Structure 1
Amino acid sequence: MKRLVILISSILILQSSFLSAQPSLDDKVYGLLIGSAIGDAAGGPTEFAPPERSFWSTTNQKITPQDLDELGALFKLRDYPRPIEPFGVWENQPPAGTITDDTRLKMIFFDALEASSGKITEKDMARATLNFGDHLPEKYQAINKEWMKEIGFASRWALGERENAYPTERIWGGVPTVMGSMAFLPVAALYPDNPREAYKKTYELGYFDNGIAKDINSTIVAGLANALSEGGSWESVIETIRTTDPFNYNGTLYVNRATTQWLDRALSIAERADGNIAQLYHLLESELQTTYWWEAWVPLVVVFAVAEFTEGHPMASMQIILEFGHDTDSYMQVMGAFLGALHGSNVFPEGMIDTVNTQMKTQFGEDVNDWMELVEAYREKK
């Protein structure tokens, strides 16, 4: 009996030690926010540029767990060899850690969240979008106006204005884009472990999402809400994306749900790649059915194909997406958010976190720690 008590006590001590090592909700939320910014900053320098590919992504051999470790060790932030661009960086050839429009849209989201005292609506988001220039340095005013031109037409329309405005459905020619997944990943932090409400709020706010992008981008955020839960995993995230459907897209007459079809395609691509990164890239290139590489389904497929391929290896997943190319920052900011939400901020090197947050503060006066305060103030309380 005494031996049994000792054994049970030992098990409880080990279990307690394991649980204490798990990231807290706050650390998962911080991981989501900073992970997304890291992904954006890491992918920005190579966005739509010919990718530099390592041995591991060009060989015909299968990659091993050790190879994944070596590949992941290559992941780093890079300086930008790029000029000022409306949808890119707003400094000429800026230092490593500089963010692009993927993170600027999150800045707008947090502006709207604060201005609305947490009761954010579509109109709050549209108003904050148009007012983004109000607190920018003078040197960014001209480039912000260029960035805002197309977005501004839809934003004014969403506010009920008709002068210098066009219907929201017109934005980007009606193409279903990644814009909702750029702006609204933080919505998951307001509804941790409540994917249905995270989905509904994303759907409500996304006046610039068209067609199937409304559902795809909302399910990505729903998946992130699940990732924030205790015990969240890639498997539970995938199941959440499949089953979170408050507006019954699965029951639409005559058509299949595009989100589910693309998720299935992602998992199939990973399986058929059979451990070879070059084959993974070939399948993605040939089966994504993309024209612009920023359609809404592209990050969904890229992120989940890569996560399945690497069996969730964090830094190898980031490096594989970086070497894939195309709209790298938009894919990597989604992957970074999922990695941070699942594992906490410690999944990223501390120096990387500091570099990105420092550049955000230096260039835009934005601090992820301030975002955390807003999340804490306004997230759903149980």
Structure 2
Amino acid sequence: MRSFFIIILFSASLVFGQGTDVSINDKIEGLLIGSAIGDAAGGPLEFVSPPERSYWTTTTEKLTKEGIEELAGLFKLRPYPKDAKPFAQWEPFGPAGTITDDTRFKMIFFNTLKNYDGELTMHNFAQSVLDFRKELPEKYRDNYDEWIPEIAYATKWALGVREDAYPVERIWGGIPTMEGQMPFLPVAALNPFDPEWCYKKTYELGYFDIGIAKDINSALVAGLARALQPDGSWQNIEEAMRKIDPYSYNETLYVERELTKWLDRSHEFAGRADGCVSRLFTILENELQTVYWWEVWVPVVVVFAVSEMCDYHPLASMQVILEFGHDTDSYAQVMGAIMGALHGKDVFPGSMRETVNTEMKRQFNQDVNDWMDLVSTYQCH
């Protein structure tokens, strides 16, 4: 009876999107490892077409509590069925737990903290992007050379270089992307009790975030900071994202704030799906107004709509992200960061955490344990 009671309490906390009673360090570790797990889980499925889908994402039935648990039970890490790619994994046919550029960008973020004694500026971060090659094992340097050119044009420009460089506004053809969501989610861990500071710091660092990406990516990090607080919940994540607005996007003449529009639509999409995951997928496919599936608003809408559909169950939400498809690693790394920040590291199975940390350490000689040491050293107090 006692174990049943504990399960009910845990389930209730998930239904209401409320974090559990865990320490701030566990929440920070949850954010970091959750993001890496999401990246590693989504990497092998990234842009696979058609995506592999299970009963609850293909039926027209409404998702039940039992269905949510079934979906949660399907979430796993898997090996890569493909050779190394510049923006995917750098380990050919990498084993389960191998990460992609979403996590490699976080390695650059933490290299900046380490190599510049915590002086986290746009200049130092941009220089760390260019210096990442020499930090890598020899076998990955050719992969870096394939990955860096488009990013290097903007990075050099941001550093004041004009040879072999282009204005930052040109990156990715001027498309506002989710690139800032890759390195900067850990900014929330440095000052979780000041989400506005986290917004401003992300805004400052994100030289490759152009147009509305500046605001949306910065707001997401502010929301993550709020999630790390003891009473963190999905409700106050979203409230922070909407209300923390140091540069007055909410007051722009004639123009609706894009962040507000897409948060509203995430709830609208989930409501119209009426409990049917396959219907939600159809709505997302038809109404996300995306071409590439990595425009800045796409992960936010997918994550918020899917989590609402799954009654905020962490692993079920992660699994539905994978079954939706497209840029799965980027969506799942955001979902994993939020779920870890709310519920702490133990929301993910210990074996899964160990596998991802082991592969990060084996391949790149750094893991979440190293990151936690850097957070402890350079966190604002």
**Partner Cα distance (1:25, 1:214) in 2:** 27
In the TM superposition, residue 181 of structure 1 has moved relative to its aligned partner by: 0.6
**Partner Cα distance (2:254, 2:117) in 1:** 42
2:206 is the alignment partner of 1:227: no
Once the two structures are superposed, the pairs formed by residues 235-254 of structure 1 within 5 Å of their partners are: 235-254=235-254
CA deviation map 1:52-71 (0-9, x unaligned): 00011000110111110011
In structure 2, the residue matched to 1:109 is 109
2:134 is the alignment partner of 1:134: yes
In the TM superposition, residue 116 of structure 1 has moved relative to its aligned partner by: 2.1
In structure 2, the residue matched to 1:380 is 380
**Partner Cα distance (1:114, 1:167) in 2:** 28
CA deviation map 1:59-106 (0-9, x unaligned): 011011111001110000011001110001111111000000000000
Q: Given that residues 79 and 93 in structure 1 are in contact (C-alpha distance below 8 angstroms), is that contact kept between their aligned partners in structure 2? A: yes
**Partner Cα distance (2:368, 2:201) in 1:** 21
Q: Which runs of 5+ in 2 are unaligned?
A: 1-12, 14-19
2:129 is the alignment partner of 1:125: no
Please report the TM-score for the alignment, with normalisation by the length of structure 1. 0.94
**Partner Cα distance (1:260, 1:116) in 2:** 36
**Partner Cα distance (2:372, 2:91) in 1:** 26
CA deviation map 1:213-237 (0-9, x unaligned): 0000001101100000011001111
**Partner Cα distance (2:380, 2:137) in 1:** 34
**Partner Cα distance (1:194, 1:113) in 2:** 19
**Partner Cα distance (1:228, 1:307) in 2:** 18
CA deviation map 1:179-210 (0-9, x unaligned): 00111000000111321110000000000001
Q: Given that residues 48 and 327 in structure 1 are in contact (C-alpha distance below 8 angstroms), is that contact kept between their aligned partners in structure 2? A: yes
SS at match of 1:183: coil
Once the two structures are superposed, the pairs formed by residues 1-382 of structure 1 within 5 Å of their partners are: 22-50=21-49, 51-381=51-381
**Partner Cα distance (2:99, 2:350) in 1:** 17
**Partner Cα distance (2:60, 2:295) in 1:** 29
Q: Given that residues 193 and 227 in structure 1 are in contact (C-alpha distance below 8 angstroms), is that contact kept between their aligned partners in structure 2? A: no
Q: Which runs of 5+ in 1 are unaligned?
A: 1-17
CA deviation map 1:279-331 (0-9, x unaligned): 01011111100010000000000000111111211111000000000000000
CA RMSD of aligned residues (A): 1.0
**Partner Cα distance (1:94, 1:343) in 2:** 29
SS at match of 1:131: helix
CA deviation map 1:1-35 (0-9, x unaligned): xxxxxxxxxxxxxxxxx9xx721000000000000
4+ runs deviating over 2 angstroms: none
**Partner Cα distance (2:139, 2:314) in 1:** 37
The residue type equivalent to 1:335 in the other structure is M
The residue type equivalent to 1:159 in the other structure is L
The residue type equivalent to 1:33 in the other structure is L
The residue type equivalent to 1:369 in the other structure is N
Q: Given that residues 36 and 334 in structure 1 are in contact (C-alpha distance below 8 angstroms), is that contact kept between their aligned partners in structure 2? A: yes
**Partner Cα distance (1:367, 1:100) in 2:** 14
The residue type equivalent to 1:90 in the other structure is W
CA deviation map 1:342-382 (0-9, x unaligned): 0000000000000000000000001211110111111111x
Q: Which has the larger radius of gyration?
A: 1
The residue type equivalent to 1:192 in the other structure is P
**Partner Cα distance (2:270, 2:375) in 1:** 35
**Partner Cα distance (1:377, 1:267) in 2:** 39
The residue type equivalent to 1:165 in the other structure is A
The residue type equivalent to 1:38 in the other structure is I
